[in-house]
Amino acid sequence: MIIAELKKKENIVEYILYIRQLMDIMRANGMDMSKIDELLVSKFEVSEKEKLKIHNWYQNLIETMRNEGVTEHGDIKEIKDLIEMLNKIHHALLDDKDEYRHHELYNWAKPNIDEYKRLSKSQSDNEIEICINAMHALLLLKLQGKNISEETAQAMQTFGSLLANLADVYKKMYNGQCTMDN
């Protein structure tokens, strides 16, 4: 899928959120590929050959969701693994005393992470997963046309900044521009 591949290369957090949105769409449409073709595939202005590739990509996502037992809720293994990788990078950056930017972004977000965890009754100790869950929830609220309070918007900004920094570090690592030792 063209969009997913681009997002995965350019911004891993956007990729995670994009795949989650697609999984929500798959679930909302009963994992019915004919509905997905009508709703999504038909909207692409590309050749029939490309539409077939897109169709197959969505079909593979549905099959993965079925095989991994996440047709009702949850993430596919790839997304869980990426969130775990981002959490490892997050902790490595926190362990690096010279990583002032990440420390500052984390300290700015930490009270909001704790508050979101409490309000959402999350059992996760993975703070990056909590931030991604919050950003996903914000996207869903926006799609539903719901109003977002100023306080919530500010909290989400702290999550977004922390996640953007992690996405940037991940991209540099993915492109071989740095390692966790740099």
pLDDT 10s digits, 77-114? 999 999 999 999 999 999 999 999 999 999 999 999 99
CA angle 24, 28, 29 (to 5 degrees): 120
pLDDT 10s digits, 40-59? 999 988 999 999 999 999 99
Question: Domain spans of the chain?
Answer: 2-67, 77-174
Residue positions counted in the chain = 182
